[in-house]
Amino acid sequence: MSDPFGQLDDLLTHVWGRLARGARVSDDPFRFVTLATIGTDGPEARTVGLRAADRDAGTVEVHSDLRTAKVRALSRDPRAALLLWDAAAQLQVRLTLTMTLLPADPARWSTVPPSSRLNYGTDPAPGDTVDAPEDVTRTPEIERFIVLSGCVRVIDAVSLSHDPHRRAVFTGTVGRWIAP
């Protein structure tokens, strides 16, 4: 394969391909990503599973329990970022997003594997205090399932495998090289 960091168009295609693969392939380095939001006390980051990436629409998607802190944070301020890292490729991708909350969609719910549906029905709610870990029960409930759809505003891609390192930033389809 040619070097995706050779041309801006090639790099943008490569990044969207990596996002799509991460959403599709469970052991891909871009499957589990860091989602950062702005909470009441400042920045908050957590690992989430990338569930969809659509280059034509310019969106990425993750799923959540409706009762989580990240959903509350995004309800107050829809700005977010996703950080993706592939250690083998020495590739970092950062996405600046505006998130939209899409509640309880039966069509999307049907694509969630039964074992993953358990994550959308914990009692007590995520983040609540429990006396012991065994006190948590999990029963899938579509009413607690929410899709976090991120409109990609900026893509920032950095290759640490080049000497010197290479970095590009894209706003929509318009890219430019910047100093790493």
pLDDT, tens digit, for every residue of 124-159? 989 999 999 999 999 999 999 999 999 999 999 999
Residue 1 lies in a domain: no
Number of domains, the chain: 1
Residue 144 is part of which domain span?
8-175
User: Has residue 1 got a pLDDT over 80?
Assistant: no
Q: Is residue 104 part of a domain?
A: yes
pLDDT in tens, 19-60: 999 999 999 999 999 999 999 999 999 999 999 999 999 999
d(CA 9, CA 94): 17
> Average pLDDT, stretch 93-116?
93
Whether residue 168 lies inside any domain: the answer is: yes
Residue with token string 């490569």: 14
Domain membership flag for residue 2: no
Contact present, 50 and 30 (Cβ < 8 Å)? yes
Note the pLDDT of residue 2: 84
Confirm whether 147 is domain-assigned. Answer: yes
Instruction: Report residue 93's pLDDT band, with 50, 70 and 90 as the boundaries.
Output: very high
Smallest CA-to-CA distance from 144 within 36, 75, 38, 68 is with: 68
Under DSSP, the state recorded for 161 is S
Q: Is residue 73 part of a domain?
A: yes
For the segment 107-126, what is each residue's pLDDT rounded down to a tens digit? 989 999 999 999 998 999 89
180 located within any domain: no
- Which amino acid is it at 41? D
Q: What is the CATH number of the domain that holds 62?
A: 2.30.110.10
Tell me whether residue 55 is in a domain.
Answer: yes
- Direct distance between the N- and C-terminal alpha carbons of the chain, in angstroms, rounded to an integer: 23
CB contact set of 114 (below 8 Å; sequence gap of 6+): 140
Per-residue pLDDT, 27: 97
Please state whether the predicted TM-score (pTM) of the whole model is above 0.85: yes
Sign of the Cα pseudo-torsion (128, 106, 15, 180, in order): negative
Instruction: Give the chain's mean pLDDT.
Output: 96
